Structure 1
């Protein structure tokens, strides 16, 4: 129940939007999985490393942590996780692919649904948090998977989301001799 409440109203909700270098955040998250490097090869294809998005850093880190955790867990023995990052036009893409067990075609549409899981020990809330966070940041998420081959999550963010971070263009006119208080009231 706590997981459901977390997704519906995250405790990080009051976190402010900041400039985020997604490449740096992905690199830092990979350090949390150092104990898996002996069995899973990590391939990083980071282009446009200096590009930034605006968002709630901790919410996004939690979402990408969940995606990486799922990718590692989907690989039963040895395999490869590929992480791509690039800019194309007005969009930043982050792609996480694994060579894991994959998701059955008939269950692919259910990913992100609360309480749906393909894991014996899962709660079904990890991907719900991922989808929720990506959508709250004006992004999109696309999933492709084949059983026995692996899964690919493609996340797309707009590079310009000023409306979502509260920037408003006000048409204020200064009148000479007007006080500061009168100017803003």
Structure 2
């Protein structure tokens, strides 16, 4: 039920729901033929069959969480109605045991856990009623082996929980793996484009820049014209920076000198480098770094990664804002957090983070964060962005922790 847009899935769903609706209608026919007197319970069952059948048929056209929740609630009412109306039928208990299994089809954790809890509470109440009040009068098949039925019920719920947990976890891993493949393909395409184009663009820019510098020094050219030359040189410099970013992406597969580095020393060194840039934007940097954090990586590339992230955070922060830089050990990983107090991002903007050529800056290229993701991936690290409009952005980095090797440890100066 995850995706009913394709013709094959929709056809399979319609056939399956057709069988379910036919069986529910056959149940009504059996009750009608066997009952001498048709009571209110039968009409309730008819109403529930109509409502549930309608929901199942409408679901492919409106796959919303509200629709899924409504289907589970009506299904629960239907199965419990059968259990109460036909106490002599033992199979109704089996249907109740399978109620959380219906929500597994939707793969919504909250909906599954909610149905599991409600089902457990209701059956606990029913078993208590049978033991203390009914005494086997209406439910002899349950009362005769109350403990056994109780154990079987909760065992079935535990089994459904295990099936859901393992299946959902596997699907999440596959989804993450698929996203990583897509990201790797984007990086590969960008790298190939960079390798093919960057050098070809750099050569003519170098020539143009050389002539502009030469003419700028020419005393015969009016001073007003030379001011235009300065503007041209600035724009050419900007173009060279973009090309350098292209080349950095193209060279991501090349491994730099890898050492065991002290994260605390590295971060303090980076903060010193970018401190003047923070002062320019009137942004205060607070550093909360735990000692004893070590990772294996290229010092130069790691500095580039942190500088890019801190620079983005400073630019995103309001004038007079505060930027928090944290680092600590968490399980077997070193976690680094960069937290700003800027305007934040929407969910759609977060999805595009790290995509080449996507940037929220007016003159940005988006290549800086692409390089950051490449560096993190190279050293088995991860970068995760969380943000909310008006509440700033948090960037969480995690790298496998390494032990301090003293003389082999490379300390950032």
Q: Please tell me the TM-score bracket, short chain as reference.
A: 0.7 to 0.9
Partner of 1:59: 301
Partner of 2:18: none
| Bigger strand fraction | 1
Q: 1:133 is paired with a residue of what secondary structure?
A: helix
Question: Shift in Å at residue 8 of structure 1?
Answer: 3.0
Partners of 1:7 and 1:129 within 8 A in 2: yes
* CA deviation map 1:17-55 (0-9, x unaligned): 1011111111111112323247212221112x1221110
- What are the residue-to-residue correspondences of 1:82-161 with 2, within 5 Å? 82-160=324-402
Partner of 2:159: none
* CA deviation map 1:102-127 (0-9, x unaligned): 12221101111111100001111010
Whole-angstrom distance in 2 between the partners of 1:153 and 1:20: 21
Partner of 1:43: 286
Equivalent residue in structure 1 for 2:256, among 15, 20, 33: 15
Whole-angstrom distance in 2 between the partners of 1:23 and 1:96: 14
Equivalent residue in structure 1 for 2:318, among 71, 76, 80: 76
Is the radius of gyration larger for structure 1 or structure 2? 2
Question: Shift in Å at residue 160 of structure 1?
Answer: 4.6
Partners of 1:18 and 1:56 within 8 A in 2: yes
Task: Give the stretch that moved more between structures: 119-128 or 38-47.
Answer: 38-47
Whole-angstrom distance in 1 between the partners of 2:257 and 2:357: 28
Give the RMSD, CA atoms, in angstroms: 1.8
Whole-angstrom distance in 2 between the partners of 1:104 and 1:121: 20
Larger RCO of the pair (alpha carbons < 8 Å, separation 6+): 1
* CA deviation map 1:166-185 (0-9, x unaligned): xxxxxxxxxxxxxxxxxxxx
- 1:28 is the counterpart of 2:241: no
Partners of 2:289 and 2:327 within 8 A in 1: yes
TM-score normalised to structure 2 length: 0.37
Q: 1:83 is paired with a residue of what secondary structure?
A: strand
Whole-angstrom distance in 1 between the partners of 2:395 and 2:275: 21
What is the total number of aligned residue pairs between the two structures? 159
| Bigger helix fraction | 2
Structure 2 portions without partners, runs of 5+: 1-197, 199-242, 404-413
Partners of 1:4 and 1:114 within 8 A in 2: no
Whole-angstrom distance in 2 between the partners of 1:61 and 1:34: 14
TM-score normalised to structure 1 length: 0.80
Moved over 6 A (4+): none
Question: Shift in Å at residue 13 of structure 1?
Answer: 2.7
Whole-angstrom distance in 2 between the partners of 1:120 and 1:110: 16
